[in-house]
Structure formats: C-alpha cells, structure tokens
A and B are shown apart, each in its own frame.
Chain A
C-alpha cells in the first residue's frame, strides 16, 4: 500500500469462482477502491454484488486477492492471511435485514456490544435508537413492527458497533420514497461524524440519484464502469447495464456517417428508414451499434414541431397506451417501436389515443451508445 492512500479507504481485489455441479458458472473478478462516504454498487441481479459484499465482510472466502482497510490487511491470498468475519469490524446490513426474531429491538441493537460494560452498552443503545427515531420500539420484537422501523433498527444494530466499513445490501427496498429519503438522511448525518467508507448496493436508479457520490457498476462479475453517477449511468457501456439503469429503449442501429466537427454521427435504426443523430462514438461507418434511450427523455407532439433545438424528429403512430400508476406507457411505431413515458395529463391535453399519428422528439444527447 502506497503512502498516498487514505488510511480509512477500503481497497479490495477479489477473485471468486462459483461452481455449480463442478462446472464454473460465475466468476467475480473485481478491483475496487471505496473512499469515505457513500459509494453505490450498481448492477443487475446476478452481477455479483452480494458475493462481493460477502467477500469483504468475511462471510465468503475469495479464491484469490487482497482486502485492506484502514491499513489492516483482512485478506491476502499470497500471504495466507484471512481475518474471520467476527474480527473484521465491518458492519453489514443484509437485504433481508436478518434481525434476530426472538430478541427485542434493544437486544438486537446491543448484540454486537457484548464486550462493553452493561452501563455503557445501555447508553450507546439508547443513544443510537434515539438518533434513528426508534427509541419507543426498544421492547418490541422485529415481527411486531413495520418495515421502515425494522430497517432503522437493522441500521442502528450495525452502526452502534463503530464499524470501519459499512456494507448495505439493498437495505431500503420496499419503502416509499419519502421514508427512504428520511433514512438516508439519518445515515448521512451519522456518517458526517464518522467518515467511513459505505458500500451501498442497489439496482434502483432513483437510489443512485438520491445517494450517489460515486458509483461502481458491476456487470457479470466485472467492474463495468466507475466514477460519478452521471458519467457511469448516463453512458452505459454494456447492454445489460443499460437495461438495469432504466433505458427502456435499446435499439440496434447502423452508422451512416460521422460528423467529427459537430461531435455527432447519423445512424439508421434497425431495418427502418428512420435516421437519427447521436453523439459521436468509437464506430466506423457501416458498423452496428446499440442506442439506448430512456422512455422519459422522449417528447411526443401531435404536429411536426418548429423552432426546437432537438435534432431528431420522427413521425409515427401510437400502437398502445397503458396507464401504470401516475404514468402512461405509450408504444409508438416509427418503423421501429419506441416506448415513451408521459403523464396522464399530457394524454388528456393532447387527446392521445391508439392509432393516432404523432411526432417523437429526441435530443441528440438523450441517445446513448452502448457496446
């Protein structure tokens, strides 16, 4: 480890092969650096996120690699070092939370403090239950309280031990946005004082936007991309990642010509006559590329719009309209089929119905190239 490395960083290089019936079915092979603060670990299910966390926590032994935090080597295959989970001081909140069902909230939270004196233990438990707004539930069992409260107690149980790294495996699934934001605020407040690396697994785009300082995108056991959330997720390099990141439209296209000076190129979508302008990518004329477009980034108009900066306008016909909650999913045929998300208000105002002719409007930079 070089001298310039921050002492509280988590640095992990992990290779782990999972075998089913003797054959290697999945290989996790990653190298990550997690600085203090929240880093999102993003990827579709099966990308290896949970395996990675299990390796860091010491619940799964990697085949090869090295895990270091705060200057302590937790695992080093070349030096036969393997610190077992109970000695790692790495907190882990599981997707299922794994609260002990037979213990009260208070007993759950004090579980990791067995080394402390009774008095100090009680103080710390009371303090953290208050900090997370669940002090009233201390005598309740996990089965008797709501989902959001359980999530707070699971967080409190992990944080009260004063860990040096925090691993969160989709801890807030199933909560509404408001509750989620409140818990995230509590977590952030806690970490401004502690400043430990937090690795936060999610496959929800919303959570990435709400939390993200940095993102590590995993795909099929590899790090597909890492950096700021906008860079990583708005320019998906891989198809599976694009789908996971909520790019509902993934279209095959052929490059027609490159306009380097403008930083754009023209492509033809599928076998259709539909041509659009997309940002310049590493592709030669005549080659095939994949274009990813978010359904919410497409505008719908009932007449050909004038005086717009958007470069792509396509005429098409509405195939179907389907209401989902407060959103309407429109399928539009322009030679290739597009999925467009609009509001019920827009449907009423424009009097949209299936079969109606419409214009799709698409900004060049809403089109992302995927390889």
Chain B
C-alpha cells in the first residue's frame, strides 16, 4: 500500500504542476499567430510517441551529477536529483505534458471568438478575459487535463524505472511494485495491486468522458 500512496502523491503533484505551467503554454499555443508555433506543438507532443525509456534516459542524464539539472539541483539543495521523489516529479511532468496541454489547447480554441471580442469591447484586457470567460467555458478541458495527467502518471513505468530506480517509499511506485511482485512470483499480491489500478483508471476515464459530454455543465441545458 505504501507504493500506491506514493503513486497517488506523485500523480497529484504532477497534475497540479502541469495545470499551473500547462495553462499559460496552452493559452499561448491556442491564440498565438506566430508561424513557428508548430515547432513548439511538436515538442509538446513528443512524449506521446517517444518510448518512455528514451525520455527516461535523457532525463536521467540531465539529472545525473554531471548533468545540467543535477548540478543546478546540487548547488541549490546540496544533494542530487536522480533517484529522488523530486526527480521523479520532474521526469513525470515531462512525460505527461501532452496529456495536460492538448486538452487545454482544444478547449481554449473551442471558445467562441466572438465571446472574446465581446469581452474586449466591454473593456476587459487579456487576463480578465481569460479568468472570466475562457477558463470557465473551458472547465471540461481543465478537468480532462488534470484527470488525464493524474491517470497517466499513475500508470507510468519506464520513465520511473530509469529516473527513480526502485527505492521503497521514495521512488517505488505502484507499477514498479507490481513488476517486483511478478518477478518474485507473488501473483496474488500483483493481482491485488493491478486490480486497484484498473479500477482507478476506469473511474478516472469515466469522469473525463462524463465531463466532456457536459453532463455537469449547467449552462449547456437545452
């Protein structure tokens, strides 16, 4: 159960961080008219197609004692970044990036442009328009982004193994734990954890689909 709790904490942290940094990025990607935008869009989508081990490998190199991130972290906190919970968060944020940013972009782009125009002629600047119009109308996208990045982080394996290793209570997440149990032929234990993960994933996806059907969006009535 320790592993499950660790995974939950990791997933919650990653989802929160991704909402905070993913929202301005998604806003920019949705509304910028810069021609080179597609390059950044490709970078954001990269974790979708990259094998987790490749991402994990580069993350590990960057976080290692000779890597730029590792050095910076050491200078700031006096210890390394690889094989720590913080390192795990960082790698997971990269890995789940598209799962947070893409739903946000889609929902921001889906907001009727005339509503943004209306907000502007009523005297609202970009920030106010974002808080009062874009964000409330993109709520399903925000929920989707949070839930998907949470669920995706919960189920990750390759990146964790590369960057975090397998330290009980620090980096041993539930998927690593299941792998361990199977390796030691403890099928009963493995099955119990696997089942928990299965149920959580199903619940989480149900939430995403329900929200996107606007089941709970009061103004979509009629």
Q: How far is the CA of A144 from the CA of B136 in the complex (A)?
A: 18
Say yes or no: A86 contacts B125, CB within 8 Å: yes
Most-contacted residue by chain B among A89, A92, A102, A142 (CB, 10 A): A102
Say yes or no: A143 contacts B219, CB within 8 Å: yes
A-contacting residues, B94-152, CB 8 Å = 112, 114-115, 117-125, 128, 132-133, 136-137
At the interface, yes or no: B220 with Cβ under 8 Å from chain A? Answer: yes
Say yes or no: A114 contacts B136, CB within 8 Å: no
Q: Which of A93-101, A331-339, A352-360 is found at the contact surface with chain B?
A: A93-101
Most-contacted residue by chain A among B119, B122, B132, B219 (CB, 10 A): B122
In the complex, what residues of A have CB within 8 A of residue B219's CB? 101-102, 141-143
At the interface, yes or no: B222 with Cβ under 8 Å from chain A? Answer: yes
Say yes or no: A86 contacts B115, CB within 8 Å: no
Q: Helix, strand, loop or mixed for chain B's interface?
A: helix
At the interface, yes or no: B221 with Cβ under 8 Å from chain A? Answer: yes
Q: How far is the CA of A112 from the CA of B128 in the complex (A)?
A: 11
Q: How many residues of A contact B (CB 8 A)?
A: 31
B-contacting residues, A156-185, CB 8 Å = 157-158, 161
A-contacting residues, B37-91, CB 8 Å = none
In the complex, what residues of B have CB within 8 A of residue A144's CB? 221-222
At the interface, yes or no: A59 with Cβ under 8 Å from chain B? Answer: yes
Once A102-B136, A143-B220 are accepted as A-B contacts, the answer to whether A86 and B123 lie under 8 Å apart by CB is yes
Pick the contact of A85 from B121, B137, B218 — CB < 8 Å?
B121
Say yes or no: A92 contacts B117, CB within 8 Å: yes
At the interface, yes or no: A365 with Cβ under 8 Å from chain B? Answer: no
Q: How many residues of B contact A (CB 8 A)?
A: 22
Q: How far is the CA of A161 from the CA of B117 in the complex (A)?
A: 16
Q: How far is the CA of A148 from the CA of B122 in the complex (A)?
A: 21
Q: How far is the CA of A143 from the CA of B124 in the complex (A)?
A: 23
Say yes or no: B137 contacts A114, CB within 8 Å: no
Q: How far is the CA of A102 from the CA of B220 in the complex (A)?
A: 9
Q: Mark A62-91, 1 if CB is under 8 A from B, else 0.
A: 000000000000000000000011111111
Pick the contact of B128 from A114, A141, A158 — CB < 8 Å?
A114
Pick the contact of A111 from B112, B122, B218, B221 — CB < 8 Å?
B122
Once A86-B123, A144-B221 are accepted as A-B contacts, the answer to whether A94 and B118 lie under 8 Å apart by CB is yes
In the complex, what residues of B have CB within 8 A of residue A88's CB? 121
Most-contacted residue by chain A among B118, B124, B136 (CB, 10 A): B118
Q: How far is the CA of A102 from the CA of B122 in the complex (A)?
A: 17
Q: Mark B206-219, 1 if CB is under 8 A from A, else 0.
A: 00000000000011
Say yes or no: A98 contacts B118, CB within 8 Å: yes
Give B contacts to A, CB under 8 Å.
Answer: 112, 114-115, 117-125, 128, 132-133, 136-137, 218-222
Give A contacts to B, CB under 8 Å.
Answer: 54, 57-59, 84-92, 94, 96, 98-102, 111-112, 114-115, 141-144, 157-158, 161
Could you jot down 6 A-B contacts, CB within 8 Å? Answer: A86-B124, A94-B118, A100-B119, A101-B219, A112-B124, A114-B128
